[in-house]
């Protein structure tokens, strides 16, 4: 039987994953992407994840492993697990082709421009300009882009779900902070999935469906982690898992969040967001000392 802590952890993971729907809503109800907001928000999310990874998660993992293995061995295993987490998410990232990689997120305006260009080329080739039907025109290339983006994001979100779940199990307050940070970074991923599918099919429901589906891999990751690891959840397993989670979150921050934040807006905006995220995370941790 699942206790309240486990259910709470799953709830946080579900919230973080399904926030891709926020990106869909922004794409459908805003004619122009608020790039400054996204830049600051993504920087903020990166700051939260970097600070909590180095200051809280890595330290807790080291303490647990040192208690189990001794100072020297515990520190070594913590460090190896940290870089092991980076290696795992880096391999996953490498296996996703660059065209479908969700890290290369385009704004709404860029997606519309791509869609218009494709229509123009198809009209020229087929000489059927009179049959152009706007958004309802089926664009196979854009549709594939959206589907592959959903698949790629689903793969990336799997370890993020495990990270959120494991954090919430050990420390619910820490789990909330991580869930919020991941939820923010899932917003542009929702845009990356829903916009091309919408402009290829003209079907908002289908675009929402695939956007939400890509986010569901996070609670799936949490469920797999629960089934495989929870029965063996002692200090040693916790230390290995937490150190790996720290590595995963650092890689996500450096490879996804900060580049995307700078791409969406001015360089300084992303840095202001980064520092603000660190400060908020620091204060929130101090309040519970």
What's the rounded Cα separation, in Å, for the pair 89 and 82? 11
- pTM of the complete model: 0.65
pLDDT tens for 87-135 read 988 887 777 655 444 444 444 445 444 445 445 444 444 544 444 444 4
The annotated binding site for Fe(2+) is made up of 157, 160, 186, 189, 218
Question: Where exactly are the structural domains of the chain?
Answer: 4-286
Residue with tokens 């870089």, as numbered in its chain:
83
pLDDT band at 28 (very low <50, low <70, confident <90, very high): low
Long-range contacts from 143-146, C-beta under 8 angstroms, 24+ separation:
143/196, 143/197, 143/200, 143/201, 145/99, 145/100, 145/196, 146/193, 146/194, 146/195, 146/196, 146/197, 146/198, 146/200, 146/207, 146/210
pLDDT tens for 171-207 read 788 788 788 878 877 777 777 677 777 777 777 788 8
| pLDDT score recorded for residue 117 | 43
The annotated binding site for Zn(2+) is made up of 160, 185, 189
pLDDT tens for 237-289 read 888 888 988 898 888 888 877 787 777 666 788 888 889 889 988 887 777 66
Q: Within a 13 Å sphere around the CA of 9, how many CA atoms are in the beta-carbon half?
A: 26
Structure tokens at 275: 């520092």
The annotated binding site is made up of 157, 160, 185-186, 189, 218
Cβ pair 93, 255 in contact under 8 A: yes
Q: Within a 13 Å sphere around the CA of 110, how many CA atoms are in the beta-carbon half?
A: 10
């Amino acid at each position: 039987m699942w206790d309240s802590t486990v259910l709470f952890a799953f709830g946080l993971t579900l919230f973080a994953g399904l926030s891709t729907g926020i990106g869909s809503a922004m794409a459908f109800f805003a004619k122009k992407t608020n790039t400054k907001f996204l830049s600051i928000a993504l920087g903020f999310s990166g700051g939260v994840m970097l600070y909590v990874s180095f200051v809280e998660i890595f330290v807790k993992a080291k303490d647990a492993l040192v208690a189990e293995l001794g100072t020297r061995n515990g520190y070594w295993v913590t460090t190896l697990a940290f870089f092991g987490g980076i290696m795992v998410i880096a391999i996953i990232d490498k296996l996703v082709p660059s065209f479908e990689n969700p890290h290369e997120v385009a704004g709404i305006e860029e997606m519309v421009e791509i869609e218009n260009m494709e229509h123009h080329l198809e009209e020229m080739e087929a000489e059927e300009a009179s049959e152009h039907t706007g958004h309802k025109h089926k664009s196979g290339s854009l549709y594939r882009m959206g589907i592959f983006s959903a698949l790629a994001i689903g793969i990336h979100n799997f370890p993020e779900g495990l990270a959120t779940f494991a954090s919430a199990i050990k420390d619910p307050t820490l789990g909330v902070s991580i869930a919020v940070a991941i939820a923010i970074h899932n917003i542009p991923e929702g845009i990356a999935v829903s916009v091309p599918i919408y402009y290829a099919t003209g079907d908002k429901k289908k675009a929402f469906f695939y956007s939400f589906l890509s986010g569901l891999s996070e609670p799936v990751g949490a469920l797999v982690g629960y089934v495989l690891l929870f029965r063996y959840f002692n200090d040693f397993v916790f230390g290995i898992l937490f150190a790996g989670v720290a590595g995963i979150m650092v890689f996500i921050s450096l490879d996804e969040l900060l580049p995307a934040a700078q791409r969406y807006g001015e360089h300084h905006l992303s840095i202001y967001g980064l520092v603000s995220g660190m400060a908020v995370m620091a204060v929130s941790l101090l309040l519970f000392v």
